[in-house]
Homo-oligomer: A and B are copies of this chain.
Amino acid sequence: MPVEWQPVQQSRTHELVLRSIEERVFAGELRAGDRLPPERELAPVLGVSRSALREALRVLETIGVLVAQPGRGPDAGARIVRNPDDALGRLLRLHFALGSYSLHDVLEARVVLERSSFEGAACHAPIEDLDEAAELVAGMAEPGIGVSAFNDLDTRFHVLIARSSGNALTSTLTSAVRESVRPLILRALEAVEDWPATARALNAEHRTLLTLVREGSGPEAADLVEWHIRGLHGTLVDGPVGPVGPSSS
């Protein structure tokens, strides 16, 4: 046999419905902002039950392609939207927790993506984003800031830079990857010995990063953020915090 046999995949109905709607999207017949017919109308048109249709809609909803609101009026019903971030974040978080990806893999991915983010941000980040980033950095420099609050601000800082890089895709990916390791970083920060000193060191890096981005020094910012990320992940593997997986801890 020339190639391996494909399972004939005789489908479950909801899968067919999903495929049908996807094709409409690929064909450009469904665009962001469009409304789908009500479930009770669409189901018989597609020749399936409402349950099967709803399962397909649910899937589309969780991958950020659809939102559904009950009620009546212009906002009600199922609408096509573009909100990939939540879905991607959930996906990566779950798979990271399941051990699909090692910490090392995530580290490398972060390095690659954030280098690109910072380089992009150095080239064309809007001023207001940089000002907002400055506020975040200032927030992290507050004396006596808690680990949790710091982690929140740190996440928002990196995500903001990614978004301001002008590339929606790498921005989404960066956010998702950063979010997926967020609980791990939180635990690592909680376990650090001299927290104030660590915070100061991280803050210094953040300030320098922001300065480099402001003056358009893309490559330097990229190098520094790589060092920044590798340093933090180094404490992850060295520290007493084990991986999420079943091993030890």
Question: How far, in angstroms, from A115 to B31 measured CA to CA in the complex?
Answer: 33
Which A-B residue pairs are the 3 nearest by beta carbons? Answer: A105-B169, A82-B100, A101-B169
Contact of A109 among B25, B63, B64, B170 (CB under 8 A): B170
A32 contacts chain B at the CB level, 8 A cutoff? yes
Report which of B65, B94, B116 forms a contact with A95, defined as CB distance below 8 A: B65
Give Cα A85–Cα B238 distance, bound, in whole angstroms: 30
Taking CB atoms, residues of chain B closer than 8 Å to A31 are 98-99, 246
- Chain B contacts of A94 at CB under 8 A? 22, 25, 63, 65
Binds B, one of A39-47, A54-62, A71-79, A195-203: A54-62
How far, in whole Å, are A106 and B62 apart by their CA atoms in the complex? 22
Give the Cβ gap from A30 to chain B, nearest Cβ, in Å. Answer: 8
Residues of B within 8 A of A64 (CB): 91, 95
- A102 is an interface residue with CB less than 8 A from chain B: yes
Which residue of B is nearest A59, CB measured? B62
Are A170 and B98 within 8 A (Cβ)? no
Q: Which of A152-181 contact B (CB under 8 A)?
A: 167-170, 173, 177
The reply to whether B63 and A101 form a contact with Cβ atoms under 8 Å apart is no
Is A186 on the interface with B (CB-CB < 8 A)?
A: no
* Closest chain B residue, CB of each to CB of A180: B169
| Structural contact, A169 and B82, CB atoms closer than 8 A | no
